[in-house]
């Protein structure tokens, strides 16, 4: 099935998602902390066409007021779209404080996606260093390093994440929390790439061309840089596509449990935590959209990982 198995489909999902999240300041009609206290839990604003798009004003109980009409304007006040005040446009409704959920999903994605990507870079860096060192020098160093790495696999990942988080301060600023989150999440899951890279290094070191280079007097630094690191590219790429969704999910989970970046900075996990009032959730189901955003991002990455792995290993 070429249509589904193509990389293009995954990228068609991922690139726009990352684009709107990175440029959230432009695409989001409101700031993430801007409260519209008069309109808590407002339903998604209906967009009407005549033929130009317009929206109705909102009454006190967040119902449409058909007597007031506001045109939907593009490129207004430095944002992609919006309406003239006092009109509002809440594409995905509002939360309990009347904050625009669409804007918050976009801004919140910054934390979630950035954590996923930065933590992946961090984990792959550790994995690369660890795997190449162990595989290249071999012997007792290899044995000790790989045994040590196994300790990180001895715990179920969420238990490991929470345990690591438990031993760090609870009340910290958002920037500190972000860095902490990246460091913790990246420390889980670097073992698999490290193992793969070690295996690759072990086999490369025995290749005739590497032995020849060594016989000509190439030192370890030269051999690693010239002959080993370039060969790890494939593993790093496929591992990155596996790790990023896994780490995004880890961030969402930790923040959901209240151990990540806290208010007022939005993130998908934190927003989902606000949706946890099961008794009222059905009446404002749009509170679940950060979960849908997470789902779409994961779908894109999982698909990308499948395609990349399928290329390497056509049996699957």
Partner 1 sequence: MRYLARRLLHGAFLLVGVSVLSFLFSDLAPGDYYSELQSDPRVSAATLAALRTQNGLDRPLPVRYATWLKSIGRGDFGYSLAYQGPVGPLLAQRIPGTLLLTGLATALGWLLSVPLGIWSAARRRSWPEASLKVILSVLLSIPELLMAIALLALAVQTGCLPAGGLHSPGRADALDALRHLVIPVTVLTLGLLPILVRHVRSAVSEALDAPFALAAAAHGIPWRRLLFRHVLPVAMNPLISLFGLSLGSLLSASLLVEVLTGWPGLGPLFLDAIFARDYAVVLGVVMISTAFLIGGNMVADLLLYRADPRIRG
Q: Should residue 4 be labelled a site residue for partner 1 when binding is judged by CB under 8 A?
A: yes
State which of positions 279-308 bind partner 1 (CB under 8 A): 279, 281-282, 285, 288, 291-292, 294-296, 298-299, 302-303, 306
- Token pair 């290249």 is at which residue? 136
Q: What is the dihedral of CA 83, 84, 85, 91, to 10 degrees?
A: 0
Query: Which segments of 2-88 are extended strands (E)?
Result: 48-49, 53-58, 64-76, 79-83
Q: Should residue 8 be labelled a site residue for partner 1 when binding is judged by CB under 8 A?
A: no
Candidates 47-55, 132-140, 231-239, 267-275: pick the segment binding partner 1 (CB under 8 A).
267-275
User: To which H or E segment does residue 203 belong?
Assistant: helix 191-205
Candidates 19-27, 77-85, 143-151, 225-233: pick the segment binding partner 1 (CB under 8 A).
143-151
Give the shortest CB-306-to-partner 1 separation in angstroms: 7
Closest CB to partner 1 among residues 1, 221: 1
| Sequence-ordered list of residues with C-beta below 8 angstroms from that of 47, at least 6 positions apart, any chain | 53, 54, 55, 72, 89
Pairing of strands 79-83, 48-49: unpaired
Q: Should residue 150 be labelled a site residue for partner 1 when binding is judged by CB under 8 A?
A: yes
* 3-class DSSP assignment, residue 67: strand
Binding track over 206-245 against partner 1, x by CB under 8 A: ---------------------------------------x
Q: Should residue 158 be labelled a site residue for partner 1 when binding is judged by CB under 8 A?
A: yes
Which DSSP letter does residue 57 get? Answer: E
Alpha carbon 283 to chain centroid, angstroms: 28
- Please name the residue ranges forming H helices in 23-80: 24-27
Are 304 and 237 in contact, with CB atoms under 8 Å apart? no
Kindly tell me which residue out of 8, 66, 154, 208 binds partner 1, with binding defined by CB under 8 A: 154
Q: Should residue 253 be labelled a site residue for partner 1 when binding is judged by CB under 8 A?
A: yes
How far lies 8's CA from each of 4, 12, 21, 242, 301, in Å?
A: 9, 6, 20, 17, 12
Kindly tell me which residue out of 23, 75, 159, 222 binds partner 1, with binding defined by CB under 8 A: 159
Q: Should residue 257 be labelled a site residue for partner 1 when binding is judged by CB under 8 A?
A: yes
Q: Should residue 17 be labelled a site residue for partner 1 when binding is judged by CB under 8 A?
A: no
Give the shortest CB-258-to-partner 1 separation in angstroms: 8
Residues at the contact surface with partner 1, assessed by CB under 8 A: 1, 4, 147-148, 150-151, 153-159, 162-170, 245, 249, 252-253, 256-259, 269, 272, 275-276, 278-279, 281-282, 285, 288, 291-292, 294-296, 298-299, 302-303, 306, 315-316
């Amino acid at each position: 099935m070429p249509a589904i198995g193509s990389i293009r489909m995954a990228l068609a999902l991922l690139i726009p998602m990352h684009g709107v999240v990175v440029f959230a300041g432009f695409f989001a009609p409101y700031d993430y902390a801007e409260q519209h206290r008069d309109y808590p839990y407002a339903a998604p604003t209906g967009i009407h066409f005549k033929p130009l798009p317009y929206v109705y004003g909102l009454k006190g109980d967040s119902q449409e007021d058909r007597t007031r009409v506001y045109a939907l304007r593009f490129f207004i006040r430095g944002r992609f779209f919006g309406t003239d005040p006092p009109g509002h446009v809440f594409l995905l409704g509002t939360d309990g404080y009347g904050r625009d959920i669409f804007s918050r999903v976009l801004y919140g994605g910054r934390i979630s996606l950035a954590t996923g990507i930065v933590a992946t870079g961090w984990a792959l860096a550790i994995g690369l260093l660890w795997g190449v060192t162990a595989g290249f020098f071999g012997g007792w160093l290899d044995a000790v390093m790989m045994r040590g790495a196994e300790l990180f696999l001895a715990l179920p990942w969420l238990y490991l994440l929470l345990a690591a988080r438990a031993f760090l301060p609870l009340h910290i600023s958002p920037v500190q929390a972000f860095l902490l989150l990246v460091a913790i999440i990246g420390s889980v899951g670097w073992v698999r790439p490290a193992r793969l890279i070690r295996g690759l290094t072990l086999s490369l070191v025995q290749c005739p061309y590497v032995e020849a280079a060594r016989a000509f007097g190439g030192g370890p630094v030269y051999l690693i840089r010239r002959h080993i690191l370039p060969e790890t590219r494939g593993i790093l790429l496929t591992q990155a596509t596996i790790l990023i969704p896994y780490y995004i999910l880890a961030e969402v989970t930790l923040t959901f449990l209240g151990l990540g970046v806290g208010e007022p900075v939005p993130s998908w996990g934190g927003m989902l935590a606000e949706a946890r009032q099961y008794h009222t959730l059905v009446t404002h189901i749009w509170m679940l959209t950060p979960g849908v955003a997470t789902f779409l991002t994961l779908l894109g990455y999982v698909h990308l990982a499948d395609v990349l792995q399928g290329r390497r290993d056509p049996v699957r």
